[in-house]
Each structure stands twice: as structure tokens, then as C-alpha cells.
Amino acid sequence: MYFNTLKKIFTAAVLCFFTADTHAEIVVIGNLKNDLKSLNSMQVESIFMGRKRPLPNGRVALPIDQSGLRPEFYEKLTARPIEQINAYWAILTFTGKASPPMLSPDDNAVLGMVNKHRDAIGYIDSKNVNNSVRVLLRLN
Amino acid sequence: MKLLNGKNLHHKLIFYIFLAALIFISVVTFISFRIEMNHANQKAAIMINQLIETIEPTAAIAVYSNNAQVAQDVLNGLLRNDVVYKAVITSDQGLSLEKTKGTQAEHQKEIIRELFSPFGDRKSIGQLSIVPNASFSLSEAKYAALANAINSFILVGLTLLIMLVVIHSLFSKPLMRISNTLRDILAGEQQRIAPLENNKNDELGGLVVNINKILELLTTKLSTQQVLRKRVEIAEKKLRNIFQSTSAGLFLLDKEGKVVTCTPTLFKILGYEDNQLIAINGQDFATLFFKEPSQFQQMMQNALELEQLEAQDLMLHNDTEENPLWVHCLLSKIVDAFGMTRFEGVIFDISKRIATEKAMRYEANHDALTGLLRRNAAELQLRKHLASAKSASTIVLLLDLDGFKKANDTYGHDVGDIVLIKTARLLESCVRHNDIVCRLGGDEFLIILFNCDPISTGFTIAEEIITAIKMPVTINAEVTINIGVSIGIALFPMHGTTVENLIKSADEAMYEVKRKGKNGYGIKNKNGVISVNRASAQKRQQNTVH
């Protein structure tokens, strides 16, 4: 038992070290005009996976994906590989009743969309964050 | 049923085994059905769980995304499986879909699986519940049980078939052969059972050996018995010969005098022919055979009381004057092996002896020439009669032939004898049937008339006699004899109450007639004078004169 526990702790520590080293921090951002101050990861997951689009303040969120950070973002958010996320969307898209978030090419395009739409919620590398958007959640 | 009553042992055996197998198979099939049912239920649960595993991600997605369409697809997919009767998807966001297939009478326990978010934390976001299809398990179980039963049937059937053949060839056939041979042996055609080639050392071979031993023993015993029986037969034949040819008639009677058994000779003695079948057993011996049954019954009584051998001469029932049938009978009481009182007796035919005795007595009593009674016998009878109650109206006639001495002297004794014989017949023809004619000797005769009422009958008879005797007797062509008769009459009790007195009185009267000229009858009057009647003689003389 002890051995197993120790092994888990060790593995977790190693994993933390590597992720911190190789991956950048991703931040979830929203429009400043939106009075939303922050979101937890569950809320972000619900919005991006199409489970629950309405925001706590009553407005309907507009999630925006971006090609560059997409695998990393979903991995951080749901701990699932991107293939599984794609399969999920494939199933839902097939019904015709749901669709994945709109896809932007990079951080700038996301910033632009967030600035433009009051209900837009996107994610970008934390290095590219500026004051024109509000950071709602940080994903490490 | 026909098999049961059939004569073949192996059919019967197989029938019973089959019956037992049928019962066992039924029980086993029932148990196997229960086990299979249980197994099918478990199998259904496993299948359903596997199904759930298969569709769980999709179901989770449907619940997570609250997508009714996906949930619907999941349910449709689930219900396409036979094992699923009902499937329900519920989500914590209000999604609730349910789908069933057909109807189900039996309640089945539903299988519930919590659905988790496809992403991240293990927090239940909905439920998938499936109710198994009862008819699936049932049909599975039924099929399995049926397959088991058919398997068993085929195995048992084949085994029985083989057993049938084996039992038939190993037991029934050799047994049949032994049985048939035994039957032929009983018919006397064969002496031993041939050993069975294939069963020399087993029980059947032993049976054959033992049967042969018994047969051997039987043959020996039979031949011994045959010798013994032959001896017994010879002895029995000898005894039977003695029994059948003995001149003594043996008989055995019960206490009441009814016939138990008797020898064939008895029939002959008793006057029955051999072939004259009479059911004599059980009949009363005394009344059946004896003229005076009481005599025999008295013998029985004596034998019973005095316990000694009784002996007596007895007259048989069919005894006659001409053909006397007499037997000498010995009778004694015995007690047989069963404690029953019986009479055993012997009968000898003494008819010849009796006949001889009778003939001798007859000779003694009768005159040899005329066959008439002699004086002694006649006097005896008269004496007896006078002593009896019927003595009244008895008449005695004393006769003396007139002219006989002369004829006898002239023509010789032979002619005299003929005259005497003819006279005797004439006298007999003149008297009544019961009257007695007696030759006193020479040419003197005595006639006794019984019950002569009125007395004149006696006179009439006397007259008839005189008339008859007077008729000439033709000896041959040359010789004709003329004789007459003088009759003295005495009446009882007028002329005497004793035989001697009566004869004396008649004698006197007869002599008076002789004196008065013969050919007439005389009788003493009350006053002692003898009156002579020669009326018929005179009449005749008158006739000759004219």
C-alpha cells in the first residue's frame, strides 16, 4: 500500500515538473463588458463541450476554439486526448442538434473575437494576454 | 403393456429400465431446467453489462450533452438485442428517455449503471437502466434443457438397444435353448442338454450342468421306481385276482349298515350279473339283499353289543320255492384306522346245500312213486292245522281203491304203479288248490280238506272223486283197468279233535262202505251209525243196466 502511494506521488511530481517545463500556461479570457469576473474549470468545460452554454449571469456564452492551442487546452481542461474530444463532437454533430465551438486560427484571432463579442469566451497562451480582455481562468 | 405381458424376459427388463430411465431423465431435465434458467439469467446479466460497456461512452455523451437524439439512438441500439426488454436513460439535467419492446409478464430486476461525464471527474450525471427480457432467459433455459433431455434420450435409447441385443444373445437365447431342450427331454426324445459353447464357464453353463445332474438323478430314480411299480403291480394283480375270484363275497358296512365297499363276487352271490351295474354303495345292505332284513339287522345289533362273530344262514330277497337262494353270512364289528365303527362280513353261497337239503326233505315227505305227501308229513300238517285258529270246517277223507289188488296181481306191478300215479293225479285234480292229498301206503290215500264250509262241499268232492276213479284206465291197446274207491269221511271237530281220532273215524266209515258194496262214501252219524252213500255208484249201475 505504502509502496503504491509513494509511487503515485512520485509519478505526479515528475509529471508536474515536465508539464511545467514544456507547456505554457493557457488562460481563458472573456470580454471586459461582460460582468463575469471568473469561471471555474467545470464551467469552462460545460461551455466548451456544449453542455451548458448559458453563463452564471444569464447570458449565453460563445466559446471560441483556436487551432494552435486546441489539443493542449482540452487536455488541460478535461485530461482527455484531443482525439476523444473530436469523437465526441463527431457524434454530436451527426445529430445535427449541436455544433463544436467556432474555430479561430491563433491567439490574435481569439483576442479579436473576444474583443468584438460581449459573450465570447476564448483561450490563449498566457504570454499574449493584454488588458483588452479579462482572464476568467488560468489553466496550468 | 403388451411388452409387460410378453413372454420375453429381455423385453420386460428393457421396458422396466426404460421406465426408470424416463423417470430419471424427467427429474434430471427438471433440475437442469432450473440450473439453466439460473445460468441464463446470469448470462443475460453479463450480456447486458457487456452491452452497457459497449454503449456507455455514447450514453454518457448523450447525457452529458443532454442530447435526446443520441440517447434515442443508444436506446434503439440496446433494444435491438434480444436480451433487453426495457432501457431507460435519465440525466440530472432533466433528460429522460424510455423504450420497451413487447410485453413482459414476469418481473425482472433492472440493471442500473451510473453515467459519468466523459470528461474528467467521476461525478454521476445520469443513469442508464436496463430490464432484461425474461423470455430470453426462458427460451435459453428451455432450449438448453430440451437439448439435455434429447441428449439423454438418445444416449439411453442407444444404450437400451445395445442392452437388448446383448441380453437377448447372452441370456434369452441360451435360456430359450435350454428351455426347448428340456421340453423335448420331457417328451422323451432326448436325454441330456448339450453344453452351450459360449457359456461353458459362466452361470448358464453351470445351470446346464446342474440340470443334467438332475436329469441323471431323475432317470435313475425313475428306473428304480419303474421296477418298484412293476413289483407293486404284480402284487396288486395277485391280490386283485384273489379279491375278484374268491368265492366268498366280502363287504364292508358303516355303522348304519350302509355299504362302504364290496367284492365283485358279492354281486354274483346276491344274484346280479357282472355287467348289471347297480349303485350299491351307500345303500342299506339288509333291505337291498335279504328277504328278511330284520334278521340281518339283528345280527348287526348282536355284533355291535356282544362284539363277537355272528354267523347265520339268510334267505336272499329273490329266493323262490323253485330256486332257493341262501347265503351263510359271517358278520363282525371292526374299528377302522380312522376310529370309525364298521361291520365287515363274508357271504358264502349255500343255495346248493339248501337245495339239497330241501330235496332230501321233499324225498322224506313225499311218496317216491306218486309224488304225494307221505303219511307222517300229512299228519304233521293236519296236526299243525288243527292246532291253529283256522281249524274249523276241516274234513278228512280216507280212501281205499276197490279192485286194485286184483289188477295188480293180474297185470303186474308196473301196471299197478301206473294206476296209482294216475289215481294220484286224479285226486289232485278233484281237490282244491290248498287241500292235501297223501298216500298212506299201498292203495290207501288220505285227503285233508281245509275250510270246508259248507260241509256239503266235502261230499261233493267225494262224489267227484268216486266218479273220476270209476272211469276206466287205459294202459295200452289191450289193457284197460276198471277200479273203484271207498271213502270214509270224518269231520272236525264232530268225529274227533285229534288226528288219530279223525283218521280212526274215517277208517271205520270207509270199512262200512266196503262192507256195503264199495264205490261210495260213508260217514258216522251223530248217534254213531255209519250211513253210506253209494248214489253215484247206483246211478252208474242203473245206467249200465239200461
Q: What is the pLDDT of residues B208-253, one digit of tens each?
A: 888 888 888 888 888 888 899 999 999 999 988 877 777 678 888 8
Q: What is the mean predicted confidence (pLDDT) over B399-403?
A: 89
Does A100 reach chain B within 8 Å, measured CB to CB? no
- Whether B291 and B316 have beta carbons less than 8 Å apart is answered as yes
pLDDT at B321 over 60: yes
> Cβ B65–A84 below 8 Å, yes or no?
no
Lowest-pLDDT choice from A12-21, A62-71, B37-46, B165-174: A12-21
Chain B hits for A80, Cβ within 8 Å: 118-120
Q: 62-91 in A: which are within 8 Å (CB) of B? A: 77-80, 84, 88, 91
Per the model's pLDDT, the better-predicted residue between B104 and B408 turns out to be B408
CA angle B253, B254, B257 (to 5 degrees): 70
pLDDT band for position A135 (cuts 50, 70, 90): very high
Q: Which residues of A touch B120 (CB under 8 A)?
A: 45, 77-80
The pLDDT, as a whole number, for residue B540 is: 46
Name the pLDDT band for B546 (thresholds 50, 70, 90). Answer: very low
Residue in chain B lying closest to A95 (CA):
B69
Contact A72, A23 (CB under 8 A): yes
Q: Which range, of B61-70, B270-279, B454-463, B501-510, averages the lowest pLDDT?
A: B270-279
- The answer to whether the beta carbons of residues B89 and B128 sit under 8 Å apart is yes
Q: Is the pLDDT of residue B273 over 70?
A: no
Q: Which of B222-226, B356-360, B392-396 has the lowest mean pLDDT?
A: B356-360
To the nearest whole Å, the CA of B124 is away from the closest chain A CA by 14
Distance CA B468, CA B473 (A): 10
A79: its cell numbers: 485530461
Beta bridge partner(s), residue B86: B100, B131
Residue of chain B whose alpha carbon sits nearest to that of A94: B70
Q: Is the pLDDT score of A1 beyond 70?
A: no
Pairing status of strand B395-402 against strand B444-449: antiparallel
Give pLDDT tens digits for A43-70. Answer: 898 899 888 888 888 888 999 999 989 9
**Is B480 a residue whose pLDDT tops 80?**
yes
Is residue A54 within 8 angstroms of chain B, CB to CB?
no
At B545 the pLDDT is 36
Lowest mean pLDDT segment, chosen from B66-70, B276-280, B417-421, B465-469:
B276-280
Would you give the DSSP letter of residue B197? G
The CB density around residue B271, as the number of other CB atoms within 10 Å, is 16
Using the predicted structure, report yes or no on whether residue B272 has a pLDDT greater than 80.
no
Domain positions in chain A: 24-139
State pTM to two decimals.
0.44
Per the CB < 8 Å rule, is A91 touching B58? Answer: yes
Residue B311 above 70 pLDDT?
yes
- Interface size, chain A vs chain B, as Cβ–Cβ contacts under 8 Å: 40
Q: How confident is the model at residue A21 (pLDDT cuts 50, 70, 90)?
A: very low
**Predicted confidence (pLDDT) at residue A16 exceeds the cutoff of 70:** no
DSSP designation for B372: P
Is residue B318 predicted with pLDDT exceeding 80?
no
Residues B376-397, mean pLDDT to the nearest whole number = 86
Q: Over the stretch B440-455, which tens digit does the pLDDT of each residue have?
A: 888 899 999 988 888 8
Percent of chain B with pLDDT over 90: 11
| Lowest mean pLDDT segment, chosen from A33-42, B268-277, B378-387, B477-486 | B268-277
Report CA torsion sign: B363, B369, B373, B374: negative
Closest CA to B67 of B89, B82, B50, B98: B89
Cα Rg of chain A (Å, integer) = 16
The β-bridge partners of B252 are: B261, B344
Among chain A residues, CA nearest to B70: A95
pLDDT at B49 exceeding the cut of 80:
yes
Q: How confident is the model at residue B543 (pLDDT cuts 50, 70, 90)?
A: very low
B452 membership: H or E segment, kind and range: none
Q: Which residue of B has its CA nearest to A52?
A: B65
For residues B483, B484, B486, B487, the Cα torsion angle rounded to the nearest 10 degrees is 110
Is the pLDDT at A15 greater than 60? The verdict is no
Give the CATH fold of the A24-139 domain.
D-Maltodextrin-Binding Protein; domain 2 (3.40.190)
pLDDT for res B541 = 46
Q: What percent of chain A has pLDDT over 70?
A: 84
pLDDT band at residue A136 under the 50/70/90 scheme? very high
pLDDT at residue B300 tops 60: yes
User: How confident is the prediction for chain B on average, in pLDDT?
Assistant: 84
Gap between the Cα atoms of B513 and B463, Å rounded: 13
Name the 3-class secondary structure at B314.
Answer: strand
Alpha helices (H) in B311-373, listed in sequence order: 351-365
Please judge whether A97 and B69 are an interchain contact, meaning their C-beta atoms are less than 8 angstroms apart.
yes
Count CB neighbours of B138 within 10 A. 16
* Model ipTM value: 0.75
Question: In this complex, do A98 and B58 lie within 8 Å of one another by their Cβ atoms?
Answer: no
**DSSP-derived pairing of the beta strands B111-116 and B124-132:** antiparallel
Shortest distance between the Cα of B119 and any Cα of chain A, in A, equals 5
Average pLDDT of the residues in A111-126: 92
